[in-house]
Amino acid sequence: MLGPVVWFAALLVRHLGVETAGFTVAERARFDAEPFAAPEQLAAYARNPELVTAGYALFALAAILLCATVVVFAREIGGRLALAGAALFVASLFARLYFSGIDLAAFELVDRTGLEKATEFVMNAYVDLSYGLWRVPVTASVGSIAGAVVLAVAGWRAKALGVVRCLLLLSFGWVFMGVLKEADLATVVHGGIVAIVLFGWSAVNSEKRAWIIL
C-alpha cells in the first residue's frame, strides 16, 4: 500500500512545486505555448528548489516502491500472463528512474549555469535526453501501456478483475513518463487516486487473507 500512497504524494508535491512558484499570467501563457513542459519545470525549480526537488525525489521513490506493488498485484491475479504484464510494467518503472537522473542533471545545470543557459541546453538536447542511449529507456517506458493491457487481460481471464478495475488499470498505464514532465491537477487526481484504488484494494485484500490464514 505504501507505493501507491507515495506515488500520489509525489504527483501532488510536483504539482504544488509549480503552482507555488509565483509565475505571472504572462509567464504562464509563455510556458503554455511551449511544446514541452521542461521550461516551466526548470523555472519552478529555480524559484522553489526545495519543493520541486521533494516532488521529483518522491516520484523516484514511488517508482521503486511500485515495482513490488505491481509484482504482488500480478501474483494476486495469478498465471504467467499476469507475470509477463508485471515484467513489462516494472520495466517502465525502471525507465522512470533513468528519467529521474536526467531531471536531476537538468536541475544541477540550473544551479551551476543559471536558468536561461540550462533551459537552452535541455531544450536543444531534449529528444536525445528523453530517448536515452540506444533508445532503451524510451522503449522500456512503453511497458507501462503494454503491461497494463496484458495485466488487464490476465485479470479479466482469471476473473480477478472486473470491468471497472480493468479500465482503471488501462488508464493508469497512460500516466505520464519522461523528462521534466508536468503534473497538472488532472494527472494528480487521476494518477494518484487510481493507483490507490487499484493497487491499494489488492493490498488490503491480500492482508486480509494473510490474517485469515494466521
Residues whose CB is less than 8 angstroms from the CB of residue 57 and which lie 6 or more positions away in sequence, other chains included: none
pLDDT at res. 117: 98
Domain boundaries, the chain: 2-74+90-127+177-213
Task: From residue 42, give the alpha-carbon distance in Å to each of 8, 9, 88, 131, 179.
Answer: 22, 20, 30, 19, 11
Greatest alpha-carbon span in the chain: 61
For residue 141, give the amino acid letter.
S
Helix/strand/coil for 203: helix
Low-confidence ranges of the chain (pLDDT < 70): 201-214
Contact call for residues 148 and 74 (beta carbons, < 8 A): no
pLDDT at res. 169: 94
pLDDT at res. 196: 86
Give me 124's grid cell: 536543444
pLDDT at res. 1: 73
